[in-house]
A and B are shown apart, each in its own frame.
Chain A
Amino acid sequence: MSELSDLYQEVILDHNRRPRNFRPIDDASRTQEGYNPLCGDRLTLYVKLDGRSIVDLSFQGSGCAISKASASLMTEALKGKTVEQARELFDRFHDMVTSSTDVAAPDLGKLSVLSGVREYPTRVKCASLAWHTLKAAVADGTDGPVSTE
């Protein structure tokens, strides 16, 4: 059995208390709502693109520590990446949080602090909410500033 401290690592608690990039982007290229009806977690993701490049990424909303920290860590990890790199990281993140607990979790650098949710099936959705929202935000593959609003 895993310890609670594997889930609520200091980094996660810190990002929950002081979420990074927790602000709107006024001239966002995409704005996307994410909602987890099960627990009521809600977030708005703002993406600013320059061509295929994510030049700024931020979020606002309310949610549990896991969803907030995950969103915060995601915005840090993806700033400066391309849309394609973001999609690739989405897949790897998804694999990490849903992978079997019998094998070592793949190393995703700082994002690896969220691998603890593997032990908590009911919390996987919390950790993935921001990522699914991002995937939807960049889904249509259109270049340039397009808002989904």
Chain B
Amino acid sequence: MLTTKNDTAFGHGVPTTGFAHEGTPGASATFDVQRIRADFPILREIVHGKPLVYLDSANTSQKPESVIRAMDDYYRHANANIHRATHLLSERATKLYEGTRANVARFINAPDAKSIVLTTGTTDGINLVAASYGRMVLKPGDEVLLSWLEHHSNIVPWQILCEQAGARLRVAPINDLGEIDIQAYEHLLSDRTRIVAISHVSNALGTINPVRHIVAKAHECGAVVLLDGAQAVPHLVVDVQALDCDFYVFSSHKMFGPTGAGVLYGRKSLLEAMPPYRGGGDMIASVTFEKTAYNQVPYKFEAGTPNIAGVVGMGAAIDYFGSFDRAAAQAHEDDVLAYATERVRAIPGTRIIGEAADKTGVLSFVLDHAHPHDVGTILDREGIAVRTGQHCAQPIMDRYGIAATVRASLAIYNTREDVDALITSLARVREVFG
């Protein structure tokens, strides 16, 4: 399908906070979803005798040919350990690895590649900040402020930290639409707040949070802010300097890259002040049994041999974002989400969970006649992959008084036809459960 660069043509959920909307230089202003689909070999897969309809990208995205090839090439032509040996292969591997770091910095407009710590994923990045920065600053009576929308991985590390430090975990509530209650958030901020940790986009509901405002208000109270960007980077153009956040974390596997790689962006002055997270090789400058001098940032946080092929694949995934127009892709995704929302809403007995004004990529819903888990099984037999359950976000389920939802989540390769297939199969659910 063809879309124009005119976002307003779709009039839905195009965010205005914190992101540049310019297309990638050199990319075409139109968005050819069939061309995009051709880049993802798995989309030609047949499951249970039906063509795969993949609506589970918030869980993990599929990978384009270029990412698969980059990792394969790495193992065929460049595999060696990084930063350590003098031979040519090690030089190649190091170049690819450090090249990705620089690539990541450009991708999220970080001021300096040295402010990019390569991790194994979002969970790893949050744990690093909680264990290193958190333990350094948190005193008894201090507070860490989250929102009700967080993924378990942006809750549990802070809970552990608060317990150890004698600090208090506070949670900003959400309204019925699934938006953070900003007044309540501001009310919870105080001079006791040391850390604010909030998702840029909610994985369970798709809400885009007003993170620029959230960051500014936190800074007024002297708190630092970690943004969980796991669900934002696949959809939105992220600019960490425009957001002015102190930490930004995300996973490669949700943005068309491989599993086991991810990013922690940190304000360099903070990273420099922070103690190491894990000890080992590569994170040191010199070691004696009396004393170890740590390496500079970001290497101080990268102990041991990393997932080099994963990082290379993540680099290829970032390059992939340069192969299409970002604004046009976003308009396409918004169109598919609006269409899906409208079609699902029209099914009698359906309740959509999360109807924020600003949303991307996620449609969560429940049916009054069938449990989400049964819906998931029936859809699977029709070739449709969705996630059912609580989406690692039990507090949200509790907030809505439900145990689980069906979650259809989108990426750039999804189409209105995918939505049509979902709707047809939901009718099949009705047949079984009547």
Contact = CB atoms under 8 A, between A and B. Distances in A.
Given A65-B370, A122-B377, A40 B432 contact: no
B381 interface: yes
B389 A38 contact: yes
A120 B377 contact: yes
A7 B388 contact: no
A82 to B, nearest CB: 33
Given A1-B49, A8-B432, A13-B432, A40 B389 contact: yes
Given A4-B381, A39-B404, A42-B403, A64 B49 contact: no
Given A4-B381, A41-B403, A63 B371 contact: yes
A41 B432 contact: no
A13 B369 CA distance: 11
B393 to A, nearest CB: 11
A87 interface: no
Say which size band chain B's interface belongs to. 10 to 19
B371 to A, nearest CB: 4
A123 interface: yes
Contacts, number: 49
Contact of A4 (B388, B397, B403, B432): B432
A123 B432 contact: no
A140 to B, nearest CB: 29
A63 B403 contact: yes
B213 interface: no
Residue with the greatest number of chain A CB neighbours at <10 A, chosen from B370, B371, B433: B371
Interface of A, secondary structure class, is mixed
B378 A39 contact: no
A66 interface: yes
A62 B374 CA distance: 13
Contacts of A37: 390, 394
Interface in A39-56: 39-42
Contacts of A7: 377
A99 to B, nearest CB: 19
B47 to A, nearest CB: 10
B377 A40 contact: no
A1 B50 CA distance: 12
B372 interface: yes
A126 interface: yes
B372, B373, B388 — most chain A CB neighbours (10 Å):
B373
Nearest to B376: A122
Given A41-B373, A122-B377, A1 B397 contact: no
Contact of B374 (A1, A38, A66): A66
Interface string B365-397: 000001111100110010000001110001001
A125 B373 CA distance: 11
B373 A66 contact: yes
Contacts of B381: 4
B48 interface: yes
Q: Which of A4, A37, A40 has the most chain B CB atoms closer than 10 A to its own CB?
A: A40
Contacts of B388: 39
Contacts of B378: 4
B348 to A, nearest CB: 18
A64 B48 contact: no
Contacts of A63: 371, 373, 403
A39 B432 contact: no
A126 B49 CA distance: 25
A38 B387 CA distance: 11
Interface string B40-58: 0000000011000000000
Nearest to B402: A40
Given A4-B378, A39-B388, A40-B389, A64 B373 contact: yes
A38 to B, nearest CB: 6
A37 B394 CA distance: 9
B372 A64 contact: yes
B192 to A, nearest CB: 32
B390 A65 contact: no
A1 B300 CA distance: 52
A32 to B, nearest CB: 18
Interface in B381-434: 381, 388-390, 394, 397, 403-404, 432-433
Given A1-B49, A4-B378, A37-B390, 19 more contacts: A4-B381, A8-B374, A8-B432, A37-B394, A38-B389, A39-B372, A39-B373, A40-B389, A40-B394, A40-B397, A41-B373, A62-B403, A65-B370, A65-B371, A65-B374, A65-B433, A66-B373, A120-B377, A123-B377
27 contacts: A1-B48, A4-B377, A4-B378, A8-B374, A37-B390, A38-B389, A39-B373, A39-B388, A39-B389, A39-B403, A40-B390, A40-B394, A40-B397, A40-B404, A62-B403, A63-B371, A63-B373, A63-B403, A64-B371, A64-B372, A64-B374, A65-B371, A65-B374, A65-B433, A66-B373, A122-B377, A123-B377
Interface of B: 48-49, 370-374, 377-378, 381, 388-390, 394, 397, 403-404, 432-433
Top 3 nearest A-B pairs (CB, nearest first) are: A40-B403, A64-B373, A64-B371
